[in-house]
Amino acid sequence: MHKKLNDFLKQFKLHIQFSEEEVAHFMLPRENVIESYVVEDPTTKEITDYISFYSLPSSILRHPEYNTLYVAYQFYYFTGKYTIT
């Protein structure tokens, strides 16, 4: 996945190149911090697509029913088999 992500990011004039350790640290799911999803080709077991997002809770003041709003922000992704939409 690390190579595919770096290859995808190369299409942009300004981009980061992640090491395998950085991908593991920043991209692997962590409860209430980051979520990551992959699409794996069933025959080759190769990861073809990847998307991640992080969430930030915000306090909701003076609402009778809700205390927290959870907002998700797209983090990193690459596509191969599908489009981002």
Q: How many residues does the chain have?
A: 85
Number of domains forming the structure of the chain: 1
Nearest to 2 by CA among 35, 63, 66, 50: 50
pLDDT at 1 (0 to 100) = 83
Q: Is-contact 77 9, C-beta < 8 A?
A: no
Q: What is the model's pTM?
A: 0.76
pLDDT tens sequence across 32-53 = 889 999 999 999 999 999 999 9
Domain extent at residue 55: 2-78
Q: Is residue 60 part of a domain?
A: yes
Q: Is residue 85 part of a domain?
A: no
Distance CA 65, CA 79 (A): 39
CATH code (residue 74): 3.40.630.30
Any idea what DSSP says for residue 34?
E
Q: Is residue 84 part of a domain?
A: no
